[in-house]
Structure 1
Amino acid sequence: MTIRKTTLALFVAQLALIGSANAFEAYASNEGSSSISVIDGKTMSVAGTIAVEGKPRGIVISNDGKTVYVSEQTKGRLLVIDTAKHKITKEIPLGESPEGLGINKDGSLIAAAVERLNSVLVVNTHTGKVVATIKTEGENPEHAEFSPDGKWIYASAEEDHRVDILDVKTGKEVKSVEVGKRPRGIGFTPDGKLAFIGCEMDNSVYVIDVASMEVVKRIPAGLRANGIVVSPDGKYVYVSNGGDANVMQIDVAKLAVVNTFPVGKRPWNMSIADNGKYLLVASGRSDEVSVVDLEKGKALPPVPVGQRPWGVVAH
């Protein structure tokens, strides 16, 4: 009897693990079809679509997975989406042509890069109000990301060759760091020591030491290096190469490329799902989210979504 109970308990536990496998949800912002695709991680397929008037671009998700925030370019607003209802519940004005979004660790603040204002706007998610407008030295900020400790916002200047470092507490820029031409995606290691910047016209990734605010390494990447995402354990950084239809894996300890994965056309922004198991890539010219199994080190069948996906987030 004891053996049977033990066996049954193990069987139930195994079923629970199987049921929780791939139990994530992802959201892709499709600027070409004015929609957000909801991806079921269990089936790796689209489970729903949220209509958005205009061009949804930058996208982030709260730590509890209950809220998705999306920048909408044509009307210059931040959309707040309830993930349980798959419904837009609020709109917050940002200004002309908002692009990339960043969210701080506790989810209380959103940083929005607003191109035509040459500024990063900081939004309090509890009040839904803009609490700071920080001018950037670089022209046309494309991405804005919080450092893990929440002290800094790094903003990449699309029409420039610099990353602006903004002090969250004072709401002012403290330094502008020169990198390669047309910087795009930004990612920090979890310990907050290094920042990685994808530079599109330089075909490279620049590494900034956060403490000194200086470039410490230039890593050659692929054609039109773009999106950046860091693994949860901080061991690897991934850069999407828009002109090569691939993603490169950078070893943080070596600061060198160690692997390359084929993905769809014009890979753009990315996310890591299921605690580091899957890499999700918005492949804009393939109208799909490409999927890489990072544990097995191989590409999986892509997930067809809307037209020209700009970004993707997972929880």
Structure 2
Amino acid sequence: MKVYVSNYLSRSISILDYSTLEFERDIKLDENIYPHNFCIDKEQQLAYIPSSLDGELYVIDLSIGKVIDDISIGGKLANIALCNGELFISNEDSNSIYVLDVKTLNPIGVIGVDNMPHGSDIDCINNKLYVACINSIICIDTYNKSICKKIETDFKAWHVKLDRNRKEIYTSTLDGKVVVIDEESLKITKIIDKFLLPVQICFNYDAKKIYIADMGHKKVIILDYDTGEILDYIDINGDPQGLYISNDYKLLFISDTKNNLIKIYKTSDNTLIKNIKVGKEPTTILCV
């Protein structure tokens, strides 16, 4: 397994060895490719990077470290998800989700949504895509390519993360909240108002904890999975943004965009075990 990190300002993808926790190599991208969010087709060893700068979707062959294809979509592209052979890309300028065939990159459809769609998370089993727009959370049927339900909100939704155990949606907001929404009814079940600028969210189902990167407090806040109360925090001494928890829940990977580091902590006692230098402004962390 490899750990992949998008470095926005250095226009690169860093690759780490998962078993040794050692830096392996960088993939240098073209000057106009600023990677923020991306997804990976594990079988084909391809990375798909939407660029907010030029409205292009770039395809990177990870084995050779080169751009092998691109398609012009236009607008300010944000998040991307891969599900059942299709790519779903949020476009903040056109307030839409673009759908492409992953093999041909041919367009399949465009789904109009609400203002400024940014974060998204996908449930491939139930064919649902959940999208955070600035004042709503939208559920898209990925099979029919249509909106099947939505909830209008009075908070500024930014990122979403599905809790697949409880079928809930955790939404980080630009106004310092984490809002929990029932996946089926799209009704708000809990509002946690203890943050400044929460970004990425991940779950430790083994220890019943929730980790939330708060760039405002410069910490990763740790919540009790059952109550939502703060249990502890990890002082990053930087700007935490991306999170990834290992499959055995023993390691937490954090991207520190200020210090250009991937910081790795033991989840048992929140101790730092390693800093790995990567490119400038690391954001998204994926492991495949």
- Alignment map for 1:144-183 (pairs within 5 Å): 144-157=120-133, 160-179=134-153, 181-183=155-157
* 1:74 has 2:53 as partner: yes
- Residue 125 of structure 1 is aligned with which of 94, 98, 102? 102
| 1:113 pairs with 2:86 | no
Aligned to 1:86: 65
Q: Which has the higher helix share?
A: 1
The partner residue of 2:219 within 246, 262, 265 is 246
2:238 partner amino acid: K
- Whether contact under 8 Å (1:188, 1:194) holds in the other structure is yes
Matched with 2:81 is 102
* Distance change (3 Å), C-alpha of 1:148 and 1:168: closer
Deviation at 1:63, TM superposition (A): 5.0
1:58 CA drift (Å): 0.8
Q: Would the alpha carbon gap of residues 302 and 94 (structure 1) be closer, same or farther in structure 2, given more than 3 Å must change?
A: farther
Once residues 286 and 149 of structure 1 are traced to their aligned partners in structure 2, the CA distance between those partners, rounded to angstroms, is 38
Measure the CA separation in 2 of the matches of 1:248 and 1:65.
Answer: 36
Relative to structure 1, the CA distance from residue 43 to residue 223 in structure 2 (aligned partners, 3 Å threshold; closer, same or farther) is: same
1:222 equivalent to 2:218? Answer: no
Pairwise CA distance, 1:60: 2.1
Give the paired residue count.
286
1:222-261: CA deviation from partner (whole Å, max 9, x where unpaired)? 2211112234769443211011111123333333333322
Q: What residue ranges of structure 2 are gaps of 5+ in the alignment? A: none
- Measured against aligned partners, the alpha-carbon deviations of 1:277-300 in whole angstroms (never above 9, x if no partner) come to 322222222222222222443233
Q: CA RMSD in A?
A: 2.4
Contact 1:148 1:188 in 2 (8 A): no
Higher Rg: 1
Give the match for residue 196 of structure 1: 170
User: Using a 3 Å threshold, how does the CA distance of structure 1 residues 179 and 286 change in structure 2: closer, same or farther?
Assistant: farther
| DSSP 3-state at the match of 1:57 | coil
What fraction of aligned residue pairs are identical, expressed as a percent? Answer: 19
Residue of structure 2 equivalent to 1:12? none
| Deviations, residues 172-201 of structure 1 (Å, cap 9, x unaligned) | 223332446332221112246111111121
Question: 3-state SS of the aligned residue for 1:254?
Answer: coil
Give the TM-score normalised by structure 1: 0.81
Q: Distance in 2 between matches of 1:127 and 1:237?
A: 38
Match of 1:20 in 2: none
Separation (CA, whole Å) in 1 of partners of 2:229 and 2:44: 33
SS at match of 1:239: strand
Correspondence for 1:134 among 78, 91, 111: 111
Over 3 Å counting, the alpha-carbon distance change for 1:289 and 1:65 in structure 2 is farther
Matched letter for residue 224 of structure 2: D
User: Structure 1: which 5+ runs fail to align?
Assistant: 1-23
**What SS does the aligned partner of 2:93 have?**
helix
Matched position secondary structure for 1:26: strand
Which residue identity is paired with 1:283?
D
| Secondary structure of 2:255's aligned partner | strand
| TM-score, normalised via structure 2 length | 0.88
